[in-house]
A and B are shown apart, each in its own frame.
Chain A
Amino acid sequence: MWDWSYTLFVLPDILKALKITILATFLGFAMASIPGLILAICRRSQYKPLSMAVGAFVEFIRTTPLLAQLYFIFYVFPQFGLALSPLAAGVIGLGLHYSTYLSEVYRAGIDSIPQAQWEAATALSFSTRHIWLKIILPQAIPPILPVMGNYLIGMFKDTPLLSAITLVEILQVAKLQGSQYFRYLEPITIVGLLFLILSYVSSLGIKRLEARVNH
């Protein structure tokens, strides 16, 4: 049933592509965490049109499929003179999609800071920039790190979607091997196992982080 020599034959290429998958995950996460914070801060803005526009944007991106957004970035942006490589388009797509999720996470973290902290900072006449950077964010971020870690794993599991915009990541490699040698069993099973192992191990790490944060 399971062909070991075929397994050893396809494995090196899959492992090579795993680098691309992991690269896309971390670049995507970097593209999500900073914009996500900016979205969260803008959404709290006193200036109504800004907070409403950001709210609508977040809602729209969160409720439409990542796959459709990836197609949009990869195929529509070039028409406006912005041709992107599959990796760049994928990273932007993942980053954009997850920035809206992370903005909600940041919002929860910021909302959990007691009002008195803001008042004390204002009473000490800190500037707005100072209040955010020195008082609010250093307290708001650590408790939400485990939640952000879960979104990192979620993003990792969404990277196979980038195969749809022709990025050669692990699933794409497995599919190509399957169609070339008429055996899908081994390559696709290996990809599934890789995802299972990597996301399970990372989730254990996050559980430990959670225990430390709640301590």
Chain B
Amino acid sequence: MILIPAPFDLVPYLLQGVGVTVQLLIASSALALIMSFLIGYGRLSRYRIISLPATVYLEFFRGTSLLVQLFWAYFVLPFFGITLSAMTTGIIVIGLNYGAYGSEIVRSSILSIPKAQIEAGIALNMTRFQISYRVILPQALVIMLPSFGNLAIELLKGTALVSLITLNDLMFQGTVLRNTTLRTAEVFSMVLMLYFILAYPIILGVRKLENRLSVWRA
């Protein structure tokens, strides 16, 4: 048995929670990405029957607090006969919530492409689908990427809230470890450090993308 000097002897226990946090991060990011495009494109639709529900979705998920949504899904849905595990609840609620924020990234990036691009596409006799898929989207995607990176960091921070619906993520392991060891300062410092370490690769990625983006624009 190797003795790890304090406070790093706490890390192996916390790492069990890191696994859950990473799973949540990946699964809910995937859902958030899908919802971002669905709602973002939905809000741009000419048909009110599509754009109106998309706007309601956006205002609903942005207007009610994430923690309230998690509590609602975890405590109230069983009342309607829908009982989800804490993990499933976390993935779905966080994914749907950050998808609402992501949809604004998708929408504003698409709107930022100059109108002349569409007109050029029409002049070249491209179909509507070809214009959006071949002309607009490739340019809009480049603009979206750094914002999506920042949103991923926000989402990672949001995953800490699942500890309050009893899912044993990093934050939850921290509070358990505090109760058993009473080494409060060390435990919470290590938790903060681990969250920062998880976010750091995303920060570096965003910075790299932003630099490349400015080169591409210049």
Contacts and interface: CB of A to CB of B under 8 A. Distances in A.
Interface string A45-67: 00000000000000110111111
Given A79-B185, A189-B76, A63 B68 contact: no
Contacts of B209: none
A75 B178 contact: yes
B65, B185, B200 — which one has the most chain A CB atoms within 10 A of its CB? B65
Interface-centre pick from A63, A72, A161, A196 (highest chain B CB count, 10 A): A63
Interface residues of B, number: 39
B172 to A, nearest CB: 10
- The interface residues of chain A, by DSSP majority, are classed as helix
A67 B63 contact: no
A167 B75 CA distance: 20
Measured as residues with beta carbon below 8 angstroms from the partner, the interface class of chain A is 35 or more
B195 interface: yes
A191 B60 CA distance: 13
B10 to A, nearest CB: 14
Interface in A143-184: 157-161, 163-164, 171, 174-175, 178, 183-184
Given A178-B75, A184-B75, A65 B65 contact: no
26 contacts: A60-B192, A62-B153, A63-B153, A65-B156, A65-B159, A66-B160, A71-B175, A75-B184, A76-B188, A79-B185, A157-B65, A158-B65, A159-B65, A161-B67, A161-B161, A171-B65, A175-B71, A178-B75, A184-B76, A184-B79, A189-B76, A192-B72, A195-B63, A195-B64, A199-B64, A200-B59
Interface of A: 59-60, 62-69, 71-72, 75-76, 79, 157-161, 163-164, 171, 174-175, 178, 183-185, 188-189, 191-193, 195-196, 199-200, 203
